[in-house]
Each structure stands twice: as structure tokens, then as C-alpha cells.
Chain A
Amino acid sequence: MTPLPKRMFAEPIQTAGTVLAIFGIFGSFLGPDWLIAFTGIGLFGPLLLRETGALRWRDEFQRETTIRACMHALMAVGILATVTMATQGYGGLHERMDSIGASTVLWVLGLTWGLSKVLQHWGAPDGAFRLLLGYTAVLLLIATTRIVLFGTVARIDIKQNPPSTLVWIAILAWLLGLTVLSRYRSRTTGWLLLLTAASAVPLLQDWVGYIGSGTRGWTKTIDVLPLAVLPLLAAGLSLIPLRDRSKEHSETD
């Protein structure tokens, strides 16, 4: 029997894995914890199948980008674990009110892996541009929802308060500006993104409301940080090594 083209097997499974992983993240965040099993299956299932030879790589580019993404995820989780252990001791990863939970480790791992894949797939300048555009669009959606649902008034005293309409507009304008700038001044934008990510941590600690109760609520609150900061860090780090350019040339035909 003639073997079917390998891409017929590889792509649907990869797509299904991504959908499962995203479903598991949102499902476990909003619903029961066991839904995170879907994220595990979606993230590690295709890798396990490939490693055991049951699933073939689509091509060498896919294999290369996946391996690099795994390396980036390993570094991110390694740094997180090292910093946690150095600052909080060996019990730092236990679920308790003053530390991070296992979920944070998983978010950092999965998100780093996904961001790395996206940035390698499109290449640094285009990938960072699209990532920032998507990030800004998601923030715009969140801001619009909050403003419509909660009728936030235009306060400027942001300390200990959720961002007001004016603050949302300022944040979105800043991000949109960086998105456009990334097309022309890659290195400068990269450094500005790192500064923005660093600045976002203390701001988010003030703005993110307590989600749920007990240790579960605590870890959910902490988990918002990597979700909000990692895309900016990843885009920034991918742009810094690039040379500035005046105009992007077309890559497709």
C-alpha cells in the first residue's frame, strides 16, 4: 500500500493539539481543575507521538522550530524555578498564599513554547509585528468589555483601582505605537518592549483583582502575570538582535 503523505497526518494532529491546549487553559481557569489534562494532551501529545516514531515531522523546518521552542520553554521554566527556589526556598513551588503554583509553571512553559513557535514561523520582525497586533487587539477587547460592563469612569488615580478609560486608551496607544515602530526600528522597539514588560508587573499587581478564593484564587491571580508579560518579553527579545530597517520588503509571492 502506498503510504499517505506525512503532512496529512502531521497537521491535523498539531492543530487539534493546539485547540485542546487552549481549551484546557481556559477551561481549567474558569471551570474544574481536571480540564487542564486537555492542555497536557494537546501540548505534549504530538511531541510524544513524534518522539516514539508514531507521528512523522512535516518537514525539517517544523522539527527545527519545535526543538528550539522546547529549548526556550526549558530556559523559561528553569529560570522561573531557579528564581523561586533562590528567593523562597525548596518549598517555593508548593501551593500556598505567598508563592507560585504548579499552574504558573505550566503557563510559562506552554506560553513560551507557543510564542517561540509563532515567532520562528513568521520570523522575528513579521512575527513580532503580528504578535503585538494580536496582543493589542485582545487588550482592546478586554478594555471595551470592562468599560461597557462596569462603566468605568475616566479616573486618573490608577493606584489600587482598575484602569480607567483614559488609562486604557494610553496603554493601547502606546502598544499600537510600538507595533508600528517595530517595522522600522526593531532594536529600539525591542528595548522599549522589555521596559514595558518590566513596568507592567507592578501595574498589574495593582490592577488585577483577586480571582477566586484561597490558594487557588491566589495562583489564578499570579497566573495573569505571565499571560500579560511574556508576549511583550518574547517580542522584545526577538527584535533586539535585528538591525533597524527603513522599509520591509515582501517575503511572499
Chain B
Amino acid sequence: MVDINIRNRLRQCRKAAGGLTQQELADRTGVSRQSIISIERGRYRPSVELALKLARVLGVSVEELFELVNEETSK
């Protein structure tokens, strides 16, 4: 069985974009800080709309922020 996971580089991109804090990024994208924390920890997958907003604010492409990872499992 193949599980598809999404790996994100939000934290790295946020640091690279002038060291934005989670709160600043949340304010600029119109979401709560908890949303940013949850995305960075991989606990929450943002919608396409939010992913595009994050990419725009950070000045990167969505593909740079999020990456599909296929993991072969033993199931």
C-alpha cells in the first residue's frame, strides 16, 4: 500500500523571508497563529487557497512550500 504524505518547508521559508514570526505570518494570511503552528508541525494540511496565500506572502512557489512524498508501507 502507498501512503501519500505532504512534507512542508513552511518554517524554513518563513525564516528565510526575513525571519517572520508565526504571528506575523498568521496576520498577513488572515488566519490564527495556531493554524500556522499546526501546518508547520504537519498536523494540518491547508486548503489550496491558504497554501497560495502563504506562498505569496513568503515570496515562494507553492511547490517550494509543500512537497508530495510517497512512502511504501508494509501493509
- Asked if A60 and B47 sit within 8 Å, CB to CB, the answer is yes
What are 28 sample pairs from A and B whose C-beta atoms fall under 8 A apart?
A7-B32, A58-B31, A58-B32, A59-B30, A59-B31, A59-B35, A60-B31, A60-B35, A60-B46, A60-B47, A60-B49, A60-B50, A61-B35, A61-B38, A61-B44, A62-B32, A64-B44, A120-B43, A121-B34, A123-B41, A123-B43, A124-B43, A251-B37, A251-B41, A252-B22, A252-B37, A253-B21, A253-B22
Knowing that A60-B31, A251-B41 touch, tell me 12 more A-B residue pairs with CB under 8 angstroms: A58-B32, A59-B32, A60-B46, A61-B31, A61-B34, A61-B38, A64-B44, A123-B37, A124-B43, A252-B22, A253-B21, A253-B22
Within the complex, what minimum Cβ distance (angstroms) separates B7 from chain A? Answer: 16
Within the complex, what minimum Cβ distance (angstroms) separates B32 from chain A? Answer: 6
Q: What band does the interface of chain B fall in when counting residues whose beta carbon is under 8 Å from A?
A: 10 to 19
Within the complex, what minimum Cβ distance (angstroms) separates A147 from chain B? Answer: 38
| Interface positions of B from 1 to 39, Cβ below 8 Å from A | 21-22, 30-32, 34-35, 37-38
Within the complex, what minimum Cβ distance (angstroms) separates A227 from chain B? Answer: 26
Bound together, the chains give a CA A64 to CA B47 distance in angstroms of 10
Within the complex, what minimum Cβ distance (angstroms) separates B62 from chain A? Answer: 16
Within the complex, what minimum Cβ distance (angstroms) separates B58 from chain A? Answer: 15
Query: Which residue of chain B lies nearest to A123 when distances are taken between CB atoms in the complex?
Result: B43
Within the complex, what minimum Cβ distance (angstroms) separates A19 from chain B? Answer: 20
Residues of B close to A253: CB separation below 8 A: 21-22
| Interface positions of A from 229 to 253, Cβ below 8 Å from B | 251-253
Bound together, the chains give a CA A123 to CA B36 distance in angstroms of 12
Bound together, the chains give a CA A251 to CA B40 distance in angstroms of 8
Query: Which residue of chain A lies nearest to B50 when distances are taken between CB atoms in the complex?
Result: A60
Bound together, the chains give a CA A60 to CA B43 distance in angstroms of 14
Within the complex, what minimum Cβ distance (angstroms) separates A207 from chain B? Answer: 37
- Asked if B38 and A123 sit within 8 Å, CB to CB, the answer is yes
Residues of A close to B32: CB separation below 8 A: 7, 58-59, 61-62
Residues of A close to B44: CB separation below 8 A: 61, 64
Bound together, the chains give a CA A120 to CA B38 distance in angstroms of 9
Within the complex, what minimum Cβ distance (angstroms) separates A115 from chain B? Answer: 16
CB-CB nearest 4 A-B residue pairs: A61-B35, A59-B31, A123-B43, A60-B47
Residues of A close to B43: CB separation below 8 A: 120, 123-124
Bound together, the chains give a CA A120 to CA B44 distance in angstroms of 9
Residue of A7, A121, A251 with most chain B CB atoms under a 10 A cut-off: A251
Bound together, the chains give a CA A60 to CA B21 distance in angstroms of 20
Residues of B close to A124: CB separation below 8 A: 43
Query: Which residue of chain A lies nearest to B11 when distances are taken between CB atoms in the complex?
Result: A253
| Interface positions of A from 119 to 146, Cβ below 8 Å from B | 120-121, 123-124
